[in-house]
Structure 1
Amino acid sequence: MIQGDLRKMAASADQDGKVHYELKIGDSLIPLSSALGQKVSLKFSGAIHCIHCGRASKKSFSQGFCFPCFKKLAACDTCIMSPEKCHFHLGTCREPEWAEQYCMQSHYVYLANTTALKVGITRGDQLPTRWLDQGATQARAMFLVESRRMSGLVETLFKNEVADKTNWRNMLKGSDLTFDLAAEQERLINQLWEGLDALQNEFGLQSIQELDHTNQTHEFTYPILEHPTKVTSINAEKTPLVEGTLLGIKGQYWLLDTGVINLRKYTGYEAEFTL
C-alpha cells in the first residue's frame, strides 16, 4: 500500500519494442509488470495538488495545474495544444526563458498508427515516450524541424490529409491493422510538397529536414492480456475507489475488468495504491 500524488506513468520500450510501465505515486516508482492479471486498487482521497507550485486546488487544469499556474505558465498557453499559434517571435510569450528551453529547439513531425494513421509532433528528446503515451503500435519520424512553431506549421499541412487526434476508444480496443509508414510518408510528401516548399522558402531550407528512407519505423507491443470489447470509462471523481483486475496497460490507460481509467487525467491527485 503506497500513498501520494499521482504523476504520468513512466513508459519505456526494450529493443524488441515491448513496452514496460512504472506507476509514479508520491516518491515511489512501482514496476507494473507483476501487477498484470492481479487485482489492483487506487483510492482517491479527494485532495489535488498543483504539479508546479504544490498548492492545494479544488480542480485540476491542463492535467495537473492549479488555476493561477494555468493562467500564468507558458506550459498552459493555447499554443501548447496548437503550436502553429506560437507567439514567441512576437515578443508576447508568457515565459521567454522557458520557451527557449522547450519550444525553441528541434522537434519531430511523425506518423503513427494508433489503430488509424495519424500525424503528430514532439520535442527531439521525447521519442519514443510520446508514441508510447499515445498507444501507438507503429511510429516513424518524418521531419526534424527547427522549433515547436515550425512543427505546428508542418503538422497543419498534414492535417488536411491525416488525422492529428487519436480515437482513444478504438486504440484501447486494439487492432491488427498495420501500415507501411515509409510508403505513407512518401505518398503524403508527394501530395503536400508545394506547402512544404513554401515554408522552406519563408523560413529557410534548414528549417525543415526530411528524414530519409534509412530512418526506422518502430513497432511496439503493450502489456495486455485482454482488450475490452466495450470501453467503459471510470471517473475517479465520481468513483473514488477504483479497483479491479488489471488486464492491460496502453497509452496512459489502465484496462481493468471493471472499466478503463486514464491515469494522466489525474496527475496531481492524491491516491492510495494497493496491489
Structure 2
Amino acid sequence: MTYEGVLTKMQTEFSNPIQYYLVFENSFLSLNQLLGKELEIVHQGYQCLECGKKKKIFRQGFCYDCFMGSAAAGDWIMKPELSTAHLNIEDRDLEYEKKVQLQPHVVYLALSSEVKVGVTRKTQVPTRWIDQGAVQAIPIVEVPNRYLAGITEVALKSLYADKTNWQKMLKGEIPQADIVKERKGLQYVIPNEVKEYYDVDKNELFELQYPVLQYPKKVSSLNLDKSPSFTGKLSGIKGQYLIFEDGTVFNVRTFEGYVVKISL
C-alpha cells in the first residue's frame, strides 16, 4: 500500500499511549498501527506550505521567500518576548499577529530530556508537550497575550533550559525530577507584570506516554536531501519523530513541505 503527499507535522490524539497520524491531502496514515512493520519513505520533491509552489524548502515548511516575508515566520514565533501586537505595533502583518498573539498563552515546565521551560498558546495544550516528547508537563501561568508569556519564559531561563536535547529524549534518558515541587518555588522569579496570574496551589500535572516498542541506544537522523530513499522497521513514535529499529530517527516536522511517497 502506498501513500503520497506533502509532509506536515504529525497530528496527535492525547490518549494512552499518544495516537499519531500522518495526514495527506487525500488520505491519512494511523502510525500506531505500523509499529513493528517495515515502511519505505521516498523523497519526491517540495511544496511550500505557504505559497504552494514547488520550490525548495528553506525552513519550517516555507520556501526562502515565504520564510523571509510571511507573518507566520516572524521572529516573535521563536522569541515570544518580541511580540508587539498588544502595543498595536506591526511586525509583518498586524491583523495576523493580533489574532495569534492576543489570545491566552501558557508558560509551563516540561520534563523531556531535562526540566525545561516553554510557551504555548492555550489551544495547543497538550499538543505542544506531545510534540516535544515530554513525559510530564505542568502549567505555571496562563496569561492573556504572548508578550507576557515571553517575558516570563525569559525570566525562568535563568533556572531552566528552553530546548529539548532530542537525542536524550529519543533514547528515553529521562532524569528524575519533581516538576510540581519545581513549580511551587517560582513565585519569586516570575516578573511583576505576571504575578497576578500565578497561583502557587494550582498544580495540574499532565502525564504523557508514547507508542515506543524499543528505545534506541544510539540515534542517527534521516536527512531526505542526503538520503532520498529509506526503508526501516518502525519501533516507536515520540515527539515529532519516527524511531526505527536500526536507530535511525526521522523528524517529520523538520521535513514539512517535502513531497514523499510512503510504502508499506
Give TM-score, length-normalised by structure 1.
0.90
Any idea what the Cα deviations from partners look like across 1:181-237, whole Å, max 9, x if unmatched?
2210012334x15xx22x34xxxx7xx512453432011110001111011111111
Distance 1:3 1:150, change over 3 A: same
SS state at 1:130 partner = helix
Q: Which of the residues 246, 249, 258 maps onto 2:234?
A: 246
Give the match for residue 157 of structure 2.
159
- Distance in 2 (CA, whole Å) between partners of 1:86 and 1:214 is 27
Q: Tell me how far 1:179 sits from its aligned partner.
A: 2.5
Give the alignment of 1:187-202 within 5 angstroms.
187-190=185-188, 192-193=189-190, 196-197=191-192, 199-200=193-194
State the AA in 2 paired with 1:159: K
* Aligned: 1:18 with 2:17: yes
- Report the identity percentage: 36
Q: Tell me how far 1:92 sits from its aligned partner.
A: 3.0
- Distance in 2 (CA, whole Å) between partners of 1:91 and 1:176 is 41
SS state at 1:143 partner = strand
Give the match for residue 166 of structure 2.
168
Unaligned runs of 5+ in 2: none
Unaligned runs of 5+ in 1: none
Give the alignment of 1:56-205 within 5 angstroms.
56-58=54-56, 60-88=57-85, 89=87, 91-175=89-173, 177-190=175-188, 192-193=189-190, 196-197=191-192, 199-200=193-194
Q: Which of the residues 52, 55, 61 maps onto 1:54?
A: 52
Any idea what the Cα deviations from partners look like across 1:9-61, whole Å, max 9, x if unmatched?
011212xx42110112333221112100000111111x111111201112x13
- Distance in 2 (CA, whole Å) between partners of 1:164 and 1:128 is 17
- Distance in 2 (CA, whole Å) between partners of 1:264 and 1:144 is 26
- Distance in 2 (CA, whole Å) between partners of 1:29 and 1:138 is 28
SS state at 2:139 partner = strand
Structure 1 outlier segments of 4+, above 4 Å: none
Q: Tell me how far 1:118 sits from its aligned partner.
A: 0.2
- Distance in 2 (CA, whole Å) between partners of 1:242 and 1:72 is 33
- Distance in 2 (CA, whole Å) between partners of 1:27 and 1:158 is 43
- Distance in 2 (CA, whole Å) between partners of 1:237 and 1:211 is 48
Q: Please report the RMSD computed on the Cα atoms of aligned residues, expressed in angstroms.
A: 1.6
SS state at 1:101 partner = helix
* Aligned: 1:43 with 2:32: no
1:40–1:245: 8 Å Cα contact kept in structure 2?
yes
